[in-house]
């Protein structure tokens, strides 16, 4: 508050503090309390006026000046009739006074400009839901939601003594559900304080139901929906349409392209609508061009959507948004699939993705929305083909983001869509992907075995030879994790033979690597090394039939295994060189997963054994960083300790 009202301004400009924020954040309370706290510094008085900025008829500037001039002691007959004359008299009276004028709930720059003091000793404090970006030379303070700790302090302060008798976990849950909005906390606190027999846990249970949550935020004449509704009424019809339709987006945030799809408008119009929504605090924006709702505002938007859209219209909007997200995700995922990449004929309805980097970025930042769209399409028993296409397109991209926890759901929904379509071969494919997901650390090999077994049965029934081979391969991988390498070797060898028989060199090479894994797990390092090198030779041979992109992706992993075998065979210098080459290739591919981390840890160990402690320490540090990024806290701690020991 001191920075808003005490700081000096530029010559000829009055000091004006502007407090902005969405409905329910307590701007007025903050301004009033602040004004009381600095009152001793303003012997000329503190004046407060409500400008009714959110009403259908905000207070006109000339009427506001009349009220202020009367408060400053000007008799009614001496108040000029002209707006400019009133403003001139008002500023002259404030010039030599040390007064503070609180202009609450301002509607616009036009309304508030005549009410601002000129240079002198007086100060003004303005509150508004709008950003009032056209005001120059003002000191701005944007209020946001309270932290959970501050929310708890406010809630328990409202409850007083009864807060001691309520369970802390229930009060914490209530505070969380209020989303840091002081108005919401006040309403919930008042409801509990006025009903001593109520149980806080029971009220938290009521609020947990999203369908009725907004209705619970009412106490007497206080309703949080009314506060949001006043902002909603200020919007143009097109902005209202965008606002309520954004509620169907199945994710926490979104961009202007998706807003344009939801609003059925050109993206230029969507930008305008989004600016209006941010200006009124109904949306939050970020520097990355992303927008998001406050949780309670989203519920209000959903209620407006149900009330103001016809059932047929609501279904059409949901279907349009869901379809667009699934098609966008499919297009982005196929950038990483051999044989696809840049679309030859891009869908004009979709946002352009000019490179694999852009596709990667889109899939990551929109993860919640496109996975949510898969969920929506599956639950509505529609668009099974789109869901299946989307899941299938993620096969290669999932290798780039192997530790994302969403792949379990993505491929499960893909399998469900394939089953709904009666496509046994595709169902087997998705089940094989699920077997792979459950083999990624932290692995669940028994679930991997179960999915691989289901995939094998369906693939056999549908004569899907490649999926039969993959089921055998994933069975082998699960058996290896269960420390049964002899049996795993049998399954992996069968998979390799099957792929070789159908001329699929890409998959054959991957199976050779798994055969080598089985041999290595039995301590047969020389035989494993030979198998790894056979696979690497096929990757390096342009005539082998391997897809170049697959060879480039597979090469560093082959080198890692070769380096590990060389290390076990006591050929440390060769192992260090080979692992270093593999890590350089992974860095170039921007792959950072458990295999990358394991290679770094292996290299650090070998460097230490070779008497190169500083290089070993730095490599352990890198390994610890990668382990931390993938959520392996135990391995992160282990490498961190080893790095520290070599300092």
Question: Tens digit of pLDDT for each residue in 607-645?
Answer: 999 999 999 999 999 999 999 998 899 999 999 999 998
Mean pLDDT for 541-564 is 91
Q: Rounded mean pLDDT of the chain?
A: 92
3-state secondary structure of 195: coil
Residue-level pLDDT at 13: 47
pLDDT of residue 60 exceeding 90, the answer is yes
Residue-level pLDDT at 11: 45
Classify residue 618 by burial, with Cβ atoms within 10 Å: 0-12, 13-18, 19+: middle
Residue-level pLDDT at 607: 94
Closest to 72 (Cα-Cα) out of 52, 34, 99, 112: 99
All residues at 6 or more sequence positions from 390 whose CB lies less than 8 Å from its CB, including other chains:
326, 329, 330, 333, 370, 373, 374, 410, 414
Residue-level pLDDT at 167: 85
Q: Which residue has the higher pLDDT, 288 or 608?
A: 608
Distance, CA of 369 to CA of 377 (rounded, Å): 12
Percent of the chain topping pLDDT 70 = 98
Q: Between the CA of residue 268 and those of 236, 256, 272, 279, 352, what are the distances in Å?
A: 15, 9, 7, 17, 16
Residue-level pLDDT at 10: 45
Give the pLDDT band (50/70/90) at residue 222. Answer: confident
Q: Where are the alpha helices (DSSP H) in 224-344?
A: 224-233, 237-245, 256-263, 267-279, 295-308, 311-333
Strand partners, 93: none
Q: What is the pLDDT of residues 140-160, one digit of tens each?
A: 999 999 999 999 999 999 988
Q: Is the peptide bond before 167 cis (omega within 30 degrees of 0)?
A: no
Residue 135: other Cβ atoms inside 10 A = 18
pTM over 0.85: no
Lowest mean pLDDT among 14-18, 279-283, 301-305, 512-516: 14-18
Is residue 586 within 8 A of residue 599, CB to CB? The reply is yes
Is residue 433 within 8 A of residue 411, CB to CB? The reply is yes
Give the largest Cα separation in the chain, rounded: 106
Residue-level pLDDT at 121: 85
Q: What is the pLDDT of residues 340-390, one digit of tens each?
A: 877 777 788 899 899 999 999 999 999 999 999 999 999 877 689 999 999
pLDDT of residue 8 exceeding 80, the answer is no
Strand partners, 17: 125, 139
Percent of the chain topping pLDDT 90 = 77
Mean pLDDT for 493-512 is 94
Angle separating helix axes 424-437 and 465-481, nearest 10 degrees = 20
Q: What is the pLDDT of residues 578-602, one digit of tens each?
A: 999 999 999 988 888 888 999 999 9
- Backbone φ and ψ for 16, nearest 5 degrees, come out as -130, 125
Mean pLDDT for 541-561 is 91
Mean pLDDT for 232-244 is 95
pLDDT of residue 87 exceeding 50, the answer is yes
- Provide Rg for the chain, Cα atoms: 32
DSSP string, 391-432: HHHHHHHHHHTTT-TTHHHHHHHHHHHHHHHT-HHHHHHHHH
Output b/e per residue, 254-267; b: 16+ Cβ within 10 A: bbbbbbbbbbebeb
């Amino acid at each position: 508050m001191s920075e808003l009202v005490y700081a000096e301004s530029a010559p000829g400009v009055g000091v004006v503090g502007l407090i902005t924020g969405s409905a329910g954040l307590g701007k007025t309370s903050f301004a009033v309390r602040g004004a009381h706290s600095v009152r001793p510094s303003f012997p000329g008085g503190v004046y407060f006026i409500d400008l009714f900025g959110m009403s259908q008829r905000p207070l006109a500037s000339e009427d506001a000046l009349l009220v202020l001039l009367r408060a400053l002691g000007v008799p009614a007959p001496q108040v000029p009739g002209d707006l400019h004359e009133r403003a001139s008299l008002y500023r002259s009276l404030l010039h030599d006074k040390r007064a503070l004028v609180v202009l609450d709930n301002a509607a616009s720059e036009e309304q508030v400009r005549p009410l601002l003091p000129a240079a002198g000793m007086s100060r003004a404090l303005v509150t508004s839901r709008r950003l009032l970006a056209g005001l120059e030379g003002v000191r701005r303070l944007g209020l946001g939601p309270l932290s959970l700790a501050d929310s708890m302090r406010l809630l328990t302060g409202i409850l007083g003594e009864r807060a001691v008798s309520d369970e802390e976990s229930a009060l914490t849950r209530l505070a969380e559900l209020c989303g840091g909005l002081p108005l919401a906390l006040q309403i919930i606190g008042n409801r509990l304080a006025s009903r001593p027999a109520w149980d806080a846990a029971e009220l938290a249970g009521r609020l947990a139901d999203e369908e009725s949550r907004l209705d619970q935020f009412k106490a007497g004449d206080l309703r949080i929906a009314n506060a949001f509704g006043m902002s909603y009424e200020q919007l143009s019809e097109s902005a209202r349409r965008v606002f309520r339709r954004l509620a169907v987006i199945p994710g926490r945030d979104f961009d202007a392209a998706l807003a344009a799809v939801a609003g059925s408008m050109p993206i230029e119009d969507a930008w305008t609508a989004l600016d209006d929504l941010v200006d009124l605090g109904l949306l939050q924006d970020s520097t990355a061009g992303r927008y998001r709702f406050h949780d309670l505002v989203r519920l209000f938007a959903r209620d407006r959507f149900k009330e103001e859209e016809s059932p047929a219209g609501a279904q059409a909007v949901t279907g349009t948004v869901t379809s667009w997200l699934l098609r966008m995700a499919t297009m982005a995922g196929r950038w990483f699939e051999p044989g696809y990449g840049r679309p030859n004929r891009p869908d004009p309805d979709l946002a352009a993705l000019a490179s694999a980097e852009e596709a990667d970025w889109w899939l990551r930042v929109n993860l919640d929305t496109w996975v949510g769209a898969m969920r929506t399409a599956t639950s509505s028993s529609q668009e099974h083909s789109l869901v299946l296409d989307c899941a299938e397109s993620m096969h290669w991209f999932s290798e780039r983001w192997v530790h994302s926890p969403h792949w379990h759901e993505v491929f499960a929904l893909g399998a469900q869509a394939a089953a709904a379509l009666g496509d046994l071969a595709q169902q087997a494919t998705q089940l094989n992907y699920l077997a792979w997901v459950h083999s990624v650390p932290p692995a669940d090999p028994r679930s991997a075995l179960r999915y691989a077994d289901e995939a094998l049965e369906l693939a056999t029934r549908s004569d899907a030879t490649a999926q039969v081979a993959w089921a055998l391969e994933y069975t082998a991988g699960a058996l290896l994790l269960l420390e049964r390498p002899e049996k795993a070797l049998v399954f992996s060898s069968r998979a390799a033979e099957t792929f070789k028989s159908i001329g699929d060199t890409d998959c054959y090479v991957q199976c050779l690597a798994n055969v080598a894994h089985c041999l290595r797990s039995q301590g047969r390092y020389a035989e494993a090394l030979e198998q790894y090198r056979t696979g690497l030779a096929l990757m390096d041979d342009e005539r082998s039939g391997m897809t170049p992109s697959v060879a480039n992706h597979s090469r560093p992993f082959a080198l890692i295994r070769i380096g590990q075998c060389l290390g076990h065979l006591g050929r440390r210098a060769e192992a260090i060189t080979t692992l270093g080459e593999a890590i350089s290739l992974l860095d170039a591919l921007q792959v950072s997963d458990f295999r990358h981390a394991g290679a770094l840890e292996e290299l650090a160990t070998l460097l230490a054994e070779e008497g190169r402690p500083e290089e070993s320490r730095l490599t352990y540090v890198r390994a610890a960083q990668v382990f931390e990024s993938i959520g392996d806290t135990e391995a992160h701690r282990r490498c961190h300790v080893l790095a520290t020991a070599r300092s």
